[in-house]
Structure 1
Amino acid sequence: MTAVNRVAIAGTGVAGLAAAIQLAKAGVEVDVFEARPGMSVTGSGISLQGNALRVFDALGAWDDIRAAGYPFEGLTLRAPGPGAPVVAALPDVKTGGPDYPAAMGMERAALAAILLDHAERAGATVRFGAKVTAIGEGADDAVDVFVNGESVGSYDLLIGADGVHSAVRDLIGIETRPQPTGMGIWRTFVSRPADVERSELYYGGPVYIAGYTPTGENSMYAFLVEKAEDRAGVSDADAAQIMLEESLAYDGPWNSIRADLEAGAPVNYTWFTKHIVEEPWNRGRVVIIGDAAHSCPPTIAQGAAQGLEDALVLTELLVGRAAVDQTLWDEFHARRLPRATAVVEASAQLGQWQIDGNREADAGGLIFGIAQKMAQPA
């Protein structure tokens, strides 16, 4: 017996689809509502740490994701300037345990497609162009859900996994909002040179960080982290030109990246944000998870992993308990809030040290400490 029989989920990001998969597999009726008209995915690639891969295995999606991505071990640090000299080759903590790679890069759209396929095959119903616009109290502790202004019925639970600008978070009166950190990131999706076999980062030069991560045999995503600028209205051609110019200080594989940019590789730009909802993430039978509850700069590549862990812990409790009660919520928050908070604070601190030009900071120690925490299952 599960604590819920019928659940609504807002959002088709990794957290929402992971929750849909686990609940549908347990026989729960699941309706997923996505405000966007289709499965369009902003961004180019994504870095996934081992603890995210461990969750994919629990979902039953690991084999498909492993085949679509590029697993690797370790991290290379390079310096700007001629030849892009290697400063260090660092091992990664295997946060998923010995059965999984330390990390994996993959195309965001491919990840989204795989998770959507698994959710629908598990029995979840997914509706696009369907925004949760209101909620109300139903009979017997149920929550009435309104989509695009119309009632779609009563549910035992509404999970708000609808991202950093969560409508569900607003509907339940949580006032915490993502705040800019002062950094912005240019991203592009390009071909992978044969010698790029794991993530590589360049510190120094005209931007805070220049880097790239392999996402497949023939692909990778590259990025430049700069001081946050108002880039609204920048044309595609100008965006590519800005990325070209800001990358001129970086040699090695950046030469190949620039060639792809000149040939028309897509470019996008976003600001880094941070927030953590410190109060309980639920209000009665409505709960937020993933980026709706916490966001952080991708400085330690744990954002997606934390959303996945939210979904896994929540669904474990919903499937393993007989009722949605305060005991369930207390355990959920005890297992998720400290862990997500540690990631948000560490990710933001790493970025702030770079903004401040603090060369005495123990960035390696902070990253290793968080990795050790993440190696313990959520």
Structure 2
Amino acid sequence: MSTPRTVLVVGGGAAGNAVTILLRRAGIAVDLIEAKDDWNATAGSGITLQGNALRVLRELGVWEQVEESGYGFGSVGITAPDGTVLHVQDDLRTGGDDLPATVGMQRPQLQRILIDAVRASGATVRLGTTAETLDQDAGGVRVRLSDGSEGRYDLVIAADGLGSATRAAIGVTDRPEPTGMAIWRIAAPRPAGVVRTDLAYGGPAYIAGYCPTSDTTLYAYVVEANRDRASIPAGSYADEMRRLASAYGGHWPEITAHITDPAQVNYTWFDRLLVEGSWHRGRVVLIGDAAHCCPPTLAQGAALSLEDAWVLARFLTGADDWDDALLQAYYERRIARVRPVVEASVQIGRWQLDGVRDADVPGLMARTMTMLRELP
């Protein structure tokens, strides 16, 4: 069998965009569909990109734009709730010594960079479009789209996120499960003294932190036990986040002064998902949050998704036959790396929820990040 010629990518987030760019570079025809009309170009506040994420972004050919748009730094500070700096730890350069340890970015800016790269790749893009039916046979998948059109593909890559409809459609019954924590996030102007991520443990929240995202911006967040979303009116989001953040000192008073617009505050629960056994059914394969998700305690969600895209593209472009054995090999390659990150991310939060005071958080973080320095 010759190399399959046509791929449908379902979902235009980090994983879907990345795999599209890489497959198009290899000359494979790619259709990308995204449910949101705006391609998620304005969604989110900020994102922390560790070195292993930057390594993939460099492979995509967008590192220079990321470097110019974001804010690179190499350490993390631990502070008391009053803002007193207790310890500054150098971050491990998981992407190699020729890349920063960490880059903070405005999430919409990263999405726009990836969107531009997808469009430049020559992929066909349909926005406001979903996959309605997937009919498989031994040679491919016939897909009916929500716009009424149909197409036949050699492979469908499901990159449609945590609530993946594609995952459910192919019979994978795994679902995300809440871990017990939730996070408030907002983008705000960057105080001049904020040059790295600082994390405060204790106070009314489990964690209060911020990350510079450009020369003029940052995103700030506070983590608490999750609450029934229905009990928090959207109009009170700014009040709720400001109430929690106002207990913290240092740079927080300047940040808190900008928590005024509830529409700019994002509230989400922490979830855990890890699909076991395989990430494909026939010729439909899962990547990114559709296959796994972890709390942001290690800032590895986007990085793992980007790695999925990179590894899957290498498998696909390096093989003549896109068969069950190839897709299972992709899963086995990724699960060995993803599982310990998901488990460590959940464990760090569990220790906090359980009030474990002698937990070896630094040791667990160091072991996990050292593993991620290796190529995926």
Task: Tell me if both proteins adopt one fold, taking TM over 0.5 as the criterion.
Answer: yes
Give the TM-score of the pair, scaled to structure 1: 0.96
Given that residues 190 and 265 in structure 1 are in contact (C-alpha distance below 8 angstroms), is that contact kept between their aligned partners in structure 2? no
Compute the displacement of 1:235 (Å): 4.4
1:111 counterpart residue number: 110
Measured after TM superposition, the shift of residue 137 of structure 1 is: 2.1
> Which of 367, 372, 375 is the aligned partner of 1:374?
372
Matches within 5 A, 1:74-153: 74-81=75-82, 84-138=83-137, 141-148=139-146, 150-153=148-151
User: In the alignment, is the contact (CA less than 8 A) between 1:105 and 1:215 conserved in 2?
Assistant: yes
Q: Aligned partners of 1:110, 1:85: CA distance in 2, in Å? A: 32
Q: 1:234 Cα deviation (Å)?
A: 3.9
Listed one character per residue, the Cα deviations across residues 257-276 of structure 1 (whole Å, up to 9, x for unaligned) are: 11111477811100000010
- Separation in 2 of the partners of 1:262 and 1:283? 47
2: distance between equivalents of 1:366 and 1:133? Answer: 42
Counterpart AA for 1:97: G
Give me the whole-angstrom Cα distance separating, in 2, the residues matched to 1:147 and 1:265. Answer: 32
Report if the CA contact (8 A) 2:298-2:345 is conserved. yes
Matched, 1:279 2:277: yes
CA-to-aligned-CA distance 1:88-124 (integer Å, 9 cap, x gap): 1001110000010001110111111110110110111
User: For the residues of structure 1 that align with 2:136 and 2:276, how far apart are their CA atoms?
Assistant: 25
User: What is the alpha-carbon distance in structure 2 between the residues aligned to residue 12 and residue 265 of structure 1?
Assistant: 23
> SS of the counterpart of 1:370?
helix
Matched with 1:57 is: 58
Take 2:231 and 2:150, find their aligned partners in 1: how far apart are those partners? 37
1:38 aligned residue? 38
Q: How many residues align?
A: 375
Deviations along 1:178-197, one digit per CA (max 9) or x if unpaired, are: 00000010000100001100
Give the letter aligned to residue 10 of structure 1.
V
AA partner of residue 18 (structure 2): A
Greater CA drift, 170-179 or 264-273: 264-273
Structure 2 distance, partners of 1:336, 1:309, is 9
Q: Secondary structure at the match of 2:342?
A: helix
Contact 2:76 2:90 in 1 (8 A): yes
Match of 1:16 in 2: 16
Q: Tell me the SS of whatever aligns to 1:257.
A: helix
Residue matched to 1:180: 178
1:195 to 193, 196, 209: 193
Secondary structure in 1 matching 2:27: coil
Partner in structure 2 of residue 28 of structure 1: 28
Q: Which moved more, 1:297-306 or 1:263-272?
A: 263-272
**Distance in 1 between the 2:166 and 2:238 partners?**
35
The one-character-per-residue Cα deviations of 1:330-373 (angstroms, maximum 9, x if unpaired) are 32122101111111100000000000010111000000001011
Instruction: Tell me the CA shift for residue 134 of structure 1.
Output: 1.2
Measure how far apart 1:126 and its partner are.
1.4
Q: Give the equivalent residue in structure 2 for 1:339.
A: 337
- How far off its partner does 1:328 sit? 1.6
Kindly indicate whether the alpha-carbon contact (under 8 Å) linking 1:134 and 1:149 is maintained by their aligned counterparts in 2: no
Distance in 2 between residues matched to 1:189 and 1:265, nearest whole Å:
11
The answer to whether the 8 Å contact 2:238/2:261 transfers is: no
**C-alpha contact 1:236 1:267 (8 A) present in aligned 2:** no
Is contact 2:279-2:328 (8 Å) kept? no
Once the two structures are TM-superposed, the CA of residue 151 in structure 1 deviates from its matched residue by 4.3
Q: What is the distance in 2 between the residues matched to 1:162 and 1:326?
A: 21
Q: Residue 202 of structure 2 corresponds to which residue in structure 1?
A: 204
For 1:346, the aligned partner's letter is: A
1:2-52: per-residue Cα shift (whole Å, max 9, x none)? 732100000011000000000011111110011112123432000010000
1:240 maps to a residue whose letter is: A
CA distance in 1, matches of 2:19, 2:267: 29
Q: Is the 8 A contact 1:52 1:308 kept in 2?
A: yes
Cα pair 2:47 2:106 within 8 Å, conserved: yes
1:294-333 pair list within 5 angstroms: 294-333=292-331
Consecutive unaligned residues of structure 2, counting only runs of 5 or more, are none
Q: Equivalent residue for 1:258? A: 256
Query: Superposition RMSD on alpha carbons, in Å?
Result: 1.5
Partner secondary structure for residue 369 of structure 1? helix
2:67 matched residue in structure 1: 66
Q: For residues 199-232 of structure 1, give each alpha carbon's deviation from its aligned partner in whole angstroms, at most 9, with x where no partner exists.
A: 1100001110000000001000000000101233
C-alpha distance in 2, partners of 1:326/1:17?
A: 24
Counterpart residue number, 1:7: 7
Distance 1:39 1:159 in 2: 17
Secondary structure at 1:208 match in 2: strand
Q: Is the 8 A contact 1:161 1:290 kept in 2?
A: yes
Is the CA contact 1:133–1:149 (under 8 Å) kept in the aligned structure 2?
Answer: no
Separation (CA, whole Å) in 2 of partners of 1:232 and 1:17: 33
Q: Which amino acid aligns with 1:99?
A: D
Change (3 A) 1:264 1:164: closer
Deviation string, structure 1 residues 73-98 (Cα, Å, up to 9, x no partner): 010010012xx100110011100000
